[in-house]
Structure 1
Amino acid sequence: MAVDLFCGAGGLTYGLAKAGIDVRLGVDIDPACEYPYTANNRAEFLLQSVTGISADDVARRIKGRGFSLLAGCAPCQPFSTYHQKAGENDNRWSLLDHFGRLAVEVSPDFITMENVPNLAKQKVFRSFVTKLARSGFHVSHEVVDCSDFGVPQQRRRLVLLASKLGPIKLLQPTRRSKKTVRQAIGRLPRLTAGGVNSQDPLHQACELSNLNLARILASRPGGTWRDWDRSLVADCHKRKTGKTYPGVYGRMTWNEPAPTMTTQYYAFGSGRFGHPSQARAISLREGAILQSFPRSYKFVARGKPIFRKVIGRLIGNAVPVKLGEVIGKSIIAHVQAHATATKAT
């Protein structure tokens, strides 16, 4: 049985469930998470900050029913390189301390956490690991590229596993070739900029100004704005300080994994989020698929308005489903290995 803290739209829960783990509860402070979480997962949703959750709230969902797992991904923004200027004054840094508090007080059999690689360099993470170790957990953590596990996206993430049973490690990748953008979204219906697919409202693309339309038409897959005529280059990129960001206003490449999905992946100027062959940014649905959500995953109830900023945030912040599945399989393999070793003795 598992509880997923900071559950978001349910990427980790969905992946754990695919691996065979029964997730009973998802917790998040964002009300926009409730519909996608409950519509796609057989789990209860609790709209509450982790800072206000007690050990009893968690324990009664997972204790006494076989092995127990406490999972979660504290908001990564304060730990990212991009947001380091805020430093530890950002109150979201304390969320990892509350995760640690619940880990110690609930004392489940297993803990897992996913976050940005930069977290491993922070004092708050070292304190978290020390707290787990002193509470009887065997802890391992490593930075992985999600594309090694079948996610059609280059996304480096820190993955922590902890177990009361003994040393535990993430399963090693078995894929010989990485899933490409073409394999992931190559068969989706064509769209124009500003278009919406009649069968799937989430397969919609942002409008483009005349200038951005000219820019994407001048772009080649894998290229940069340096390939354009100077009249198309943004003023900020003509200055010395802007020349270090060549990936913005770029097109993806068909035969490679996508770049990291951010919360603004649907906007052409926010990164290399141009469609490889169509004159538009990728759609909301395409971003979800590149995060390894199934094409049928529901983010908005039928007939409800779709707010791109909200959906983009939910998808961009999600734990890729495939990574969640690998985490789940790693825990199950660990349990099976422990059972085999116990029988042998």
Structure 2
Amino acid sequence: MPYEGVCIDLFCGAGGLSYGFAQAGFDIRLGVDVDASALLTFEHNHHDARALKEDVRQLTGAKLRELAGNEAIFGIIGGPPCQGFSVAGNHNPDDVRNQLPYEYARLLEEIQPAFFLMENVKGLLSKKQRVHFDAIYELFTAAGYKLDWRLLNAWDYGVAQTRERVVIIGFRADLNISFEWPQPDPSRPVLWDAIGDLPDPIGSEPTLMNHTLFNPRPASMENRIRNAGKGVALFDCKVQDWEQPCKTVTAHLSKDVDLAHPGSPPNHEGHLFDNVREQGGYEQENRTVSWDTPSYTITAHNRSAGLHPNHGPVPQDSEQVLRLISQADPNGVIPLEVLQAEMPSRVEGLKGRQKKGAWHKPNPTITAQTTLYTGAHYHPNASRPRRFTVRECARIQSFADSFVFYGSLSAQYRQVGNAVPPKLAYQLARQIALAFREAGRR
């Protein structure tokens, strides 16, 4: 959908706002930020846009026009850094970053785009910070814009997260644009909807960018979970629920880990102990299902449910299970020599070394017999909470898997947590586009 010019994303970060606006047909030509890692991510995911590392306080409207190719600037979007306003931060009214929305207003007055959108934390509406909100609102009005604002929850717009943010949208007053906010999305997805289909990131061969996890339970996370409710830390680590939307994903995940993955979903442990036999007493008992064929009929008999295609050799009694578990390494992998000693007939023919095991999946072994697996599916800690991966956080924020984050691991978490959810951005962008269409302006 062509418009009368291009758009600039101030304080662009990784580019969540730009991603949603681009999907709605807007031409994002320039992203500005001071975070080099975030700009690398922006550049790799917005191929038609230029990424500029610059402090907006040093920029002028004329310079931004030049950087945007001297084309008419149709819109400015952006979310100035919010740490000084955020209820998740120090909430310091004197934080120097509190001045950045004023710089946004200055550039808006200089450039005079047809519209703008500014996003910020709900702390901007707090008693301490309301003076800033009112002052910024007055500056936007004085710059010649007809304004509307709302406190929006991303969960109402198809994002599996309860994330409340202030959104201010303005149209240049001389254009006489009428704007209607998007209607809530009734789907109201939960955590499972966002990440339930992702593979286990621990110990598995990486198959998805930003979805590896080398330290699933950092000490800081363990301490926060153990001391939850005791006031030891400013914020506890909140273990999330599969059947609820995730709490707000923030940049704190880069260090403090204030949200935790709930571990294996309910009813997903499988039969791993002494009531499972490879050879049953009747025809339908524990038949192994193939990946390439339909499953056998699921009946009310627990032993006729069938074995997962990756099911490995099964211990014969609970004592043997406990012996095996007691000898697993910290990654949940039972050494091959231990399996050979306990179940020689069942591991006969194994060759090579085991791959690192995953928390609740069988540990694949490099063998000549590709159907034989051993080890880690006996690990007892499958349901323990762990850290979210960057990709899981990105999914919760509604980023597509094709959107790849760059920089250090800490930088990637920070970028995801600071981003505007693309689904929310898209819904807002679509309504802005609709407002211009109805006014006969493109």
TM class, shorter-chain normalised? 0.7 to 0.9
- Which residue number corresponds to residue 175 of structure 1? 185
- Which residue number corresponds to residue 252 of structure 1? 240
User: How much has 1:124 moved relative to structure 2?
Assistant: 2.3
* Alignment TM-score, normalising by the size of structure 1: 0.81
- Which residue number corresponds to residue 312 of structure 1? 413
> Among 252, 255, 273, which residue is 1:264 paired with?
252
Equivalent residue letter for 2:405: F
- Which residue number corresponds to residue 82 of structure 2? 76
- Which residue number corresponds to residue 3 of structure 1? 8
Task: Tell me the distance in 2 between the aligned counterparts of 1:210 and 1:259.
Answer: 19
The answer on 1:282 being equivalent to 2:388 is: yes
Question: 2:14–2:41: 8 Å Cα contact kept in structure 1?
Answer: yes
Task: Tell me the distance in 2 between the aligned counterparts of 1:178 and 1:162.
Answer: 28
* 1:1-345 to 2 correspondences below 5 Å: 1-41=6-46, 42-60=48-66, 68-88=74-94, 90-121=95-126, 122-164=130-172, 165-166=175-176, 168-169=178-179, 171-192=181-202, 195=203, 197-208=205-216, 233-234=226-227, 237=228, 239=230, 241-242=231-232, 248-265=236-253, 269-275=257-263, 277=265, 278-279=383-384, 280-300=386-406, 307-339=408-440
Where 2:200 maps in the other structure, the secondary structure is coil
* Uncovered stretches (5+) of structure 1, i.e. residues with no partner: 217-223, 226-232, 301-305, 341-345
% identity of equivalent residues: 27
* Alignment TM-score, normalising by the size of structure 2: 0.64
Higher helix share: 1
| Superposed CA offset, 1:193-240 (max 9, x none) | xx4642224102252469899x79xxxxxxx96xxxxxxx33xx574x
User: How much has 1:273 moved relative to structure 2?
Assistant: 4.1
Max Rg structure:
2
Task: Tell me the distance in 1 between the aligned counterparts of 2:136 and 2:72.
Answer: 25
RMSD over aligned Cα atoms = 2.9
| Superposed CA offset, 1:121-146 (max 9, x none) | 43222222112212221001100100
Question: 2:65–2:73: 8 Å Cα contact kept in structure 1?
Answer: no
Which segment drifts farther, 330-339 or 57-66?
57-66
User: How much has 1:170 moved relative to structure 2?
Assistant: 5.1
Task: Tell me the distance in 1 between the aligned counterparts of 2:72 and 2:217.
Answer: 56
Question: 1:8–1:314: 8 Å Cα contact kept in structure 2?
Answer: yes
Task: Tell me the distance in 1 between the aligned counterparts of 2:131 and 2:84.
Answer: 13
- Which residue number corresponds to residue 220 of structure 1? none
User: How much has 1:66 moved relative to structure 2?
Assistant: 6.5
Which segment drifts farther, 260-269 or 169-178?
260-269
Count of residues paired in the alignment: 313
Equivalent residue letter for 2:24: A
Task: Tell me the distance in 2 between the aligned counterparts of 1:133 and 1:74.
Answer: 18
Question: 2:85–2:91: 8 Å Cα contact kept in structure 1?
Answer: no
User: How much has 1:188 moved relative to structure 2?
Assistant: 0.8
* Uncovered stretches (5+) of structure 2, i.e. residues with no partner: 1-5, 266-382
Equivalent residue letter for 1:271: L
